[in-house]
Amino acid sequence: MNSLANYIFFLILTLFCSRKCVINLSCVAAITSMKPGDELNHSQLLESEGGKFNLGFFSIPKTNESYLGIWYAGDPRDKKLWVANRNTPILNNSGLLTIDSTGILKITSGGKTVVNIAPPLLTGSLIARLEDSGNFVLQDETRNSTLWQSFDHPTDSLLPGMKLGYNLTTKQNWTLTSWLNIYTPASGAFTLSLESVQDAFQLVMLKFGKMSKSHIGWELSLG
Which stretches of the chain bind ligand NAG, using CB under 6 A? 41-44, 63-64, 91-92, 94, 109-110, 144, 166-167, 169-170, 173, 175, 191, 193-196, 222-223
Q: Closest approach of Cβ 170 to ligand NAG, in Å?
A: 4
- CB-based contact 45:56 (threshold 8 Å): yes
Distance CA 138, CA 184 (A): 27
Distance CA 89, CA 167 (A): 30
Burial class (CB in 10 A: 0-12, 13-18, 19+), 52: middle
Q: Closest approach of Cβ 171 to ligand NAG, in Å?
A: 8
Q: Closest approach of Cβ 193 to ligand NAG, in Å?
A: 4
Q: Closest approach of Cβ 210 to ligand NAG, in Å?
A: 10
Nearer to ligand NAG, 117 or 204 (CB): 204
By beta carbon distance, the residue nearest ligand NAG is: 110
Nearer to ligand NAG, 6 or 113 (CB): 113
Nearer to ligand NAG, 33 or 41 (CB): 41
Nearer to ligand NAG, 22 or 91 (CB): 91
Nearer to ligand NAG, 77 or 210 (CB): 210
Q: Closest approach of Cβ 102 to ligand NAG, in Å?
A: 22
- CB-based contact 50:32 (threshold 8 Å): no
Q: Closest approach of Cβ 95 to ligand NAG, in Å?
A: 8
- CB-based contact 149:128 (threshold 8 Å): no
Distance CA 154, CA 152 (A): 6
58's CB contacts (< 8 A; 6+ apart) are 66, 67, 69, 71, 78, 80
46's CB contacts (< 8 A; 6+ apart) are 31, 32, 33, 34, 40, 54, 55, 56, 97, 128, 129, 130, 136
Kindly report the length of the chain.
223
Distance CA 153, CA 172 (A): 10
Nearer to ligand NAG, 6 or 193 (CB): 193
Nearer to ligand NAG, 119 or 161 (CB): 161
Q: Closest approach of Cβ 77 to ligand NAG, in Å?
A: 23
